[in-house]
Structure 1
Amino acid sequence: MSITLDDVSCLLHLPNRGVFWSPQDVTEEVVVELAVDYLGVSQGEAQSHVRSCRGSYYKLEWLYDLFVQHRVASSWAYATRAYLLMLVGSTIFADKTFTLVKARYLLLFTDLDRCSRYSWGAAALVTLYRYLGDASMFSCK
């Protein structure tokens, strides 16, 4: 028995038609630039946050704080990106920690008008299969 694309569509109500785009891994320097350009934080804040994550990640709690901060300041594009990254990081791209999201997924939200054209169901299925493969390894905790 295995999960299918139809299961993902029925259970998660995600579109399974559209552009399939898998963002490439990014370096920590690029992660800082992405946070400055698309999340509206200062260079120093972005660098200290990336250092605290020990890799190319953003903390979900930090994204929530950014969302609230930008919503109050009426910076809607930054608030929307922080919210969407937090949403996909805690649902379809969630990892075992449930506290971090890979920073490369911010590349999906650089153009907010293009977000609805992605095949989110296929991306969710790929993520589920990847984690299923990881979980089936003997050494996985």
Structure 2
Amino acid sequence: MSDLGGLLHASYENLDRGLLCAFVERWHAETNNFHLPVGEMTITLDDVSNLLHLPIVGQFYTQQTLDADSTNDLLVEVFRVDCGVAFEETTHCQRAHVRLSWLRDVYEDACSRRQWVVAARAYLLHLVGCTIFADKSATSGWIYEHFSSIGIRRLQAQYFEDQPRCRMYEPGKVTSIVVARLQLDTLTLGSIRFSPYDEHREEHPFE
């Protein structure tokens, strides 16, 4: 019902850290894109749609502005945590937020207590947070799709086109950050795939 099912196929294991770090060095937060020798590139909504099979059309949720007290009350109600625990977390974050690590702790504690409703809520919210803030799986897939000459990757033997495209790849031997930097420095327009999802359109049409 949440349309987050595609994330179940996304892997956060076995990341090519050298490759990711080389790209992170070229990321500019002010412009939200990568500064490369051939120009600037960014991850588009089409990339998100194909790599993760997440919806990109329509309103995902309605955000409400909450103060600290309302946030603490909500955490107590939804996750059944102690008031002091909720207050400590929002105080640590200095606003109406919680950390992904805190959600993982809530999830693990709920599982150990067999509080499945709480565990499901924590897990779902963690998936959303990972997608928005820390989706290295999608970033790796984006690199593999658009830059075939950079990094080392293997194709998944059990990949099917009805799965998210990030599931298609698994990192091979970890790329040295020095090598990844050199590959980026010598990047040419001819080595970039600007339309990598053509064969995926039958399963996942362009929006």
What's the counterpart of residue 98 of structure 2?
58
Cα separation, partners in 2 of 1:22 and 1:93, compared to 1, 3 Å = farther
Q: Report the AA paired with residue 38 of structure 1.
A: V
Q: Report the AA paired with residue 97 of structure 2.
A: Y
- Measured after TM superposition, the shift of residue 66 of structure 1 is 0.8
1:2 and 1:62 map into 2 onto residues whose CA distance is 30
CA RMSD of aligned residues (A): 2.2
Structure number with higher helix proportion: 1
- Measured after TM superposition, the shift of residue 25 of structure 1 is 2.0
Q: Which runs of no fewer than 5 residues in structure 1 stay unpaired? A: 96-141
Matches within 5 A, 1:82-121: 82-94=122-134
Give yes or no for contact 1:39–1:81 (8 Å, CA) kept in 2: yes
Cα separation, partners in 2 of 1:49 and 1:3, compared to 1, 3 Å = closer
- Measured after TM superposition, the shift of residue 56 of structure 1 is 1.0
TM-score, normalised relative to structure 2: 0.41
What's the counterpart of residue 68 of structure 2?
28
1:65 and 1:20 map into 2 onto residues whose CA distance is 26
- Measured after TM superposition, the shift of residue 29 of structure 1 is 0.8
- Measured after TM superposition, the shift of residue 86 of structure 1 is 1.6
Q: Which runs of no fewer than 5 residues in structure 2 stay unpaired? A: 1-40, 136-207
- Measured after TM superposition, the shift of residue 65 of structure 1 is 0.8
1:30 and 1:93 map into 2 onto residues whose CA distance is 23
Moved more, 84-93 or 13-22: 13-22
